[in-house]
Amino acid sequence: MTTRWPIAALAAAVLTGGWRYLFAANQATAARRRLDAIAKWLEDLRDLQAGSNLDLAETLSQSATRAPKEIAPQLLDFSSRVAHHVPLADALVDLANDLDHPVADTAVASMVFAAGHASGSALGATFAQLAENARDELTARDRIDRMRVNFERSMRRMLAILGLLLAYLVVVAPEVLEPYRTPAGQGWMVVPIAIWTGSLLWLRQLSRYERASRFVARERMTEATR
C-alpha cells in the first residue's frame, strides 16, 4: 500500500507543462498584432502611392524605413537585398517567405505580377484593395479571438471547480479520498482525470484559431517571376 499520489502528481505536472498550450492568449495577441502591422504597412504603401510618381521599388523602400516594429526587420532585410542589386521579384519572394502570412502572400503575389507592368495609379488601387482585405481579415480575427476568450474562461472555470472540489474533499471529507491511496485506487484515478483532460482539450480545440495555409508556395512564386 502506498500513501503517495503518483497519478495525481503526474497529471499536475502535465497541466503545468501544457499551460501555455491550453491558454494561448499571448500567442494569439502576437499573431493579431502582426496582422495589424501588415495591414498598416499596406495602408502606408497605398498612401505613398497616392498622388506620387514612385515606382514599386521606391515605394517599398520608403515604407520599410517607417514600418511597424512587428515586421520592420523583414522589410529592412528586403530593402537591403534590393540595395545589393537583388532583382526586385526575387527580393519580393524572399519578403513573402520572411513575413510568412497568407495576407502577406496575397500582397506580395500582387506586387510580383505588378512589378514593371503596373502604372502608379494602378499600384495605388492595388495597395488600397490589399489594405482593405487585410483590415477585413483583422476584423474576422478579432471576432474569433473574442470567442476564444470565452472558451478559455470556461477552461479556467473547470480547473477552478476541480481545485475547489479537491480542496473541499481534503479538508472536509478526507475519508472519501482514502480508496485512491492504494495502487488500485491510483489506477482508477486515471478515469476522472481522463474525463477532465478530454473536456479541456475539447474546449481548447473549439477556441483554436486555424490560420489559413499559405496559398502560394515559395517555389511556385519563384517560377512566376521567371
Q: Where are the domains of the chain?
A: 6-224
- Those residues whose C-beta lies under 8 Å from the C-beta of residue 198, and which sit 6 or more positions away, are none
Instruction: Give the pLDDT of residue 211.
Output: 60
> For residues 184 and 187, what is the distance between their CA atoms, to the nearest angstrom?
5
Residue 190 has pLDDT above 50, yes or no: yes
Query: Given pLDDT bands bounded at 50, 70 and 90, which one contains residue 41?
Result: very high
Instruction: Give the pLDDT of residue 116.
Output: 57
- Reported as a single tens digit per residue, the pLDDT across 52-63 is 777 788 888 888
Region 14-32: mean pLDDT is 73
Residue 213 is given by DSSP the state P
Least confident of 45-49, 171-175, 217-221: 217-221
pTM: 0.66
Residue 216 has pLDDT above 60, yes or no: no
Stated length of the chain: 226
What are the grid coordinates assigned to 155, written together?
A: 477552461
Least confident of 109-113, 145-149, 189-193: 145-149
What are the start-end ranges of the H helices in the chain?
Answer: 6-17, 19-22, 25-49, 56-64, 72-83, 88-99, 102-114, 120-172, 174-177, 183-206, 218-224
Residue 20 has pLDDT above 80, yes or no: no
Largest CA distance in the chain: 84
